[in-house]
Structure 1
Amino acid sequence: MPISGSDFEKIIKPFFQEIFEEMGYIVFQVRQQTAGTQDGFDISVLFLDFCGLEREMFFECKYYTSSALQWSDIFNKQLQLKASSHKPCAFICLSPLKDLSNIDHNLQANIVKNFKYPVDFWTPDKKIETLFALNIEVYKKVYDVAKCNISFDRDKELRKYRAKIDLMIQQKDLLQYSDLIKIEDVAIDPIEDINLKTAMDEKLNAILSVEDPKRIEFHRLRANYKVFLESLVDLNPELRDNILRWESNLRLKASRLTDKFNIDSSYSTELFFHDFFEEAEKDMLTFYSDFNLKGDREKLLNGVVFELAAQCPLDWRKNGKA
């Protein structure tokens, strides 16, 4: 006998409790949304991840048997969830019978980026049948069949969905800090040509004595910046590309202002050194504003300026001489 949409939600609640626990998560609560409440979801699962952090995933259940499942309907649910007081780790559309139609992929990607939590669609084209087949009775009710004829490796299927959930948790963490510049003080050096460090040392000779402790500090600020950039290769390539584009634009300014410095006999080395920092800071504030960034402005500023000095477009020595 076919079930209704509300029946489907009632089935999913204990099913998710069972499956999440079987995947190894500690489940605190599986909650079914009160009828009539417009918070953008039907079921939420509150659980402890494998790092000991509390997470909550929200599921919009769509049990459509004949009507097309329009992406715009799910988009509205995402907006409702965002407008609520909930703090999602992820939003998932659960549709066992119908795939999504007319997805606006560009808009969906921008929504994920702005809402800062991942969205997934568990639909027939994602082989969702095997998820329900983890419980034979659930499968028979959902697909209105007398028996389940799907053959699959149960442990492998559980590992697959656990991997999906863990990946969404990682994506959530990355999205949460996608606009945050956080440059740590590290004890390692970047992988690079040793001549870059030598070039920076030669320029520091023009403003600092050999014994000045600021030399070590300036080298460390640059190294921290370089290591930070390396860490973004896999974690946040978009942020890395944006920083490098800003650095590239600042490199042009460094070259131009260095040329201007060299033709002005009244312009001292120390003054140009400090003036360029002020110019770079103004440029950085615009960069932060353009991309809605926050965090570690001074570390980024110092890192980029000393990187430009090491790479040579920025030179506060008169005509390259200390």
Structure 2
Amino acid sequence: MAITGSDFEKLVEPFFRKIFKEMGFLVIQVRKQDSGDQNGFDISILFLDDDEQDREFFIECKYYTTANLYWVDIFSKQLQLEASSHNPTAFIALSPLRNLTNIEHNIQSKFIDQFKYPVDFWTPDKEIEKLFALDEEVYKKVFNKSNCDIVFDREVELNRIKAIINNLIQKKEALRFADVISIQDSDKDPNEDSSLKTTLDEKLDSILSKDDEHRIRYHRIRANYKVFVDGLSDLNPSLRENILNWESNLRLKADRLTSNFNIDDTYTPKRFFHDFFNEAEKEILTFYKDFELKGDKEKLLQGVVFELAAQCPLDWRKNGTV
């Protein structure tokens, strides 16, 4: 006999309690939302992760048997959850019978950055049958079948689901600090042509002596910046793109400032060096404000300046000569 959406929610609550425990999580609470509440979810799972940190997943259940499941219906639930007082680790749309249609991936991505929690869709195209096959009785009710004929390795499936959950936790952590610039001091060097270091040294020759202790520090600042930006490729590609766009805009300012050497014979490399830092400092304040960023302004500022010098757009020597 086919079940209803309400029946499905009642099955899901004890099912996830059992599965999360079997995956090794300490389950604190699995709660079904009261009927009529508009907080954007049906089930919440509060548990401790492998590092004993509190995590709470919110699940919206969609048991559609014939009608299409539109992404906008799920998105409206995300908006409701965001407007509530809850602090989600992740939001999961659970639909065992219907895939989502008309997903607006760009909108979804932008709002995930804003909400600061990941969203995942557990639908037929994500092997949802294997998940429910972990409990044969639940499987038969959910899919209205007399038996469960799926052949799979239980341990492998549990590990697969746990890997998905841990990945969502990692994404949450990345999103939590998505607006924080944190450039670490390290001895790691970026993967680049060694000529960039030589070029920066040529620029520094015009303002520093050969044995000036600041030279090594400036090289390290630039290297730390490059390593940080490279590391954003997977962790936070949107922040990386914003930083590189800002760097590109500073290239234009650098080019404009070099014209001072042509119109003022008294203009010196040291003056150029300090003038550009002043210009870049004004720009970074606007950059941080526009994208609501926090953290390491000075490291980012100096990193970009010395990177532009290494790449050549920023040349504070007089027309390329000392």
TM-score by length of 1: 0.91
Q: Distance in 1 between matches of 2:124 and 2:202?
A: 63
Deviations 1:39-86 (A, max 9, x none): 111111112222332211100112233443332222211111001111
Deviations 1:200-251 (A, max 9, x none): 2232233233343322322221111111122123322332233223222322
Identity of aligned residues (%): 64
Deviations 1:175-222 (A, max 9, x none): 222332211111222233333223322322332333433223222211
Structure 1 stretch displaced more, 70-79 or 233-242: 233-242
Q: Distance in 1 between matches of 2:176 and 2:314?
A: 35
Q: Distance in 1 between matches of 2:94 and 2:256?
A: 57
Matches of residues 54-65 of structure 1 in structure 2 within 5 Å?
54-65=54-65
Q: Distance in 2 between matches of 1:319 and 1:106?
A: 44
Does the C-alpha gap of structure 1 residues 113 and 151 become closer, same or farther in structure 2, counting only changes over 3 Å? same
Gaps of at least 5 residues in structure 1 are none
Aligned twin of 1:113: 113
Aligned twin of 1:219: 219
Q: Distance in 1 between matches of 2:213 and 2:26?
A: 51
Q: Distance in 1 between matches of 2:142 and 2:196?
A: 64
Q: CA deviation at 1:170?
A: 2.0
Q: How many residue pairs are counted as aligned between the two chains?
A: 322
**Contact 1:258/1:313, CA 8 A, preserved across alignment:** no
Aligned twin of 1:161: 161
**Contact 1:224/1:303, CA 8 A, preserved across alignment:** yes
TM-score by length of 2: 0.91
Aligned twin of 1:236: 236
Q: Distance in 2 between matches of 1:169 and 1:286?
A: 32
Q: Which amino acid aligns with 2:268?
A: S
Q: CA deviation at 1:16?
A: 0.4
Q: Which amino acid aligns with 1:106?
A: N
Q: Distance in 1 between matches of 2:219 and 2:103?
A: 49
Q: Distance in 2 between matches of 1:313 and 1:67?
A: 58
Aligned twin of 1:246: 246
Does the C-alpha gap of structure 1 residues 269 and 104 become closer, same or farther in structure 2, counting only changes over 3 Å? closer
Q: CA deviation at 1:116?
A: 2.0
Deviations 1:71-123 (A, max 9, x none): 22222111110011111111111122233333333322222222121112212
Q: Distance in 1 between matches of 2:105 and 2:219?
A: 44
Q: CA deviation at 1:262?
A: 4.4
Is 1:27 aligned to 2:27, yes or no? yes
Q: Distance in 1 between matches of 2:73 and 2:202?
A: 62
SS at match of 1:212: coil
Q: Distance in 2 between matches of 1:145 and 1:44?
A: 27
Matches of residues 48-87 of structure 1 in structure 2 within 5 Å?
48-87=48-87
Aligned twin of 1:126: 126
**Contact 1:181/1:296, CA 8 A, preserved across alignment:** yes
**Contact 1:131/1:157, CA 8 A, preserved across alignment:** yes
Q: Distance in 2 between matches of 1:233 and 1:121?
A: 24
Q: Which amino acid aligns with 2:35?
A: A
